A and B are shown apart, each in its own frame.
Chain A
């Protein structure tokens, strides 16, 4: 089975801290994604990457950056955490097919609280 692993299930940080959320997938997927999930807002795309060292902004990139030095790992970085970044963060990956097998595989999420 495809596995997408997020390093932390729960995380508590202080305002102004630099925060790293790590995501690793084991299926050699080209595409990786970071979503943010908030009640009543659904999932919103923060950043995505379609290859090593490549990154593209999603719908809400402000306050975030990403790093993809290796194909299997995609990190989300909060340079200076703020309380409005308290949220659930979901990582996902997929093959770069655009074909019949198109679907995303998700990690189990990181609930981040910024105090």
Chain B
């Protein structure tokens, strides 16, 4: 069974600062995907970024980037030039490559990120 751990229940930074959210996971799988999802107050889950475990290059999406350390089983999210609209719950999630995705994602408990004006 997989587990995903987010050790920061809540974080608060000033607008325009850079913030890093941490995530570690435990699995015996070799091929898998990792995700960061954002859930703003509207409750709609939004995919922020995805990383394939077989890719060494860290994924980036505009102001969002990840630091993927496969050996350490670590997958942190960096948000640069943070904006008020980044205020949300952030969930780290894992899915093994095998099974066609039918088993669903395993989620961490979330980090509540607050961007202060």
* Closest Cβ neighbor of B33 among chain A residues: A102
User: Residue A74 at the B interface, CB < 8 A?
Assistant: no
CB pair A88 B43 closer than 8 Å: yes
A33-B104, A42-B109, A58-B104 known; A106+B44 contact, CB < 8 A: yes
CB distance from A44 to the nearest CB of B (A): 8
CB < 8 Å neighbour of B101 from A40, A56, A97: A97
A residues near B103, Cβ cutoff 8 Å: 48, 56
Question: How many interface contacts (CB-CB < 8 Å) are there between A and B?
Answer: 68
A104-B104, A106-B44 known; A42+B52 contact, CB < 8 A: no
Distance between Cα atoms of A102 and B47 in the complex (Å): 11
Interface size on A, residues (CB 8 A): 29
Q: B97-114 toward A: CB 8 Å interface, digit per residue (1/0)? A: 111111111111110000
Q: Which of A48, A58, A104 gathers the greatest number of chain B CB atoms within 10 Å?
A: A104
Q: A43-59 toward B: CB 8 Å interface, digit per residue (1/0)? A: 11100101000001010
CB pair B100 A97 closer than 8 Å: yes
Interface residue SS majority, chain B? loop
CB pair B50 A92 closer than 8 Å: no
Distance between Cα atoms of A35 and B47 in the complex (Å): 16
CB < 8 Å neighbour of B9 from A40, A44, A50: A40
CB distance from A108 to the nearest CB of B (A): 5
CB < 8 Å neighbour of A50 from B33, B91, B100: B100
* 13 CB-based A-B contacts, threshold 8 Å: A31-B102, A42-B91, A42-B109, A42-B110, A43-B91, A48-B102, A96-B100, A98-B99, A100-B52, A102-B50, A102-B101, A106-B45, A109-B44
Contacts A40-B109, A45-B104 supplied; 19 other A-B pairs, CB < 8 Å: A31-B102, A31-B104, A42-B108, A42-B109, A43-B105, A45-B105, A48-B102, A48-B104, A50-B100, A56-B103, A95-B101, A96-B100, A97-B101, A98-B97, A98-B100, A102-B50, A104-B104, A108-B43, A108-B44
List chain A positions with a Cβ less than 8 A from chain B: 30-31, 33, 35, 40-45, 48, 50, 56, 58, 88, 90, 92, 94-98, 100, 102-104, 106, 108-109
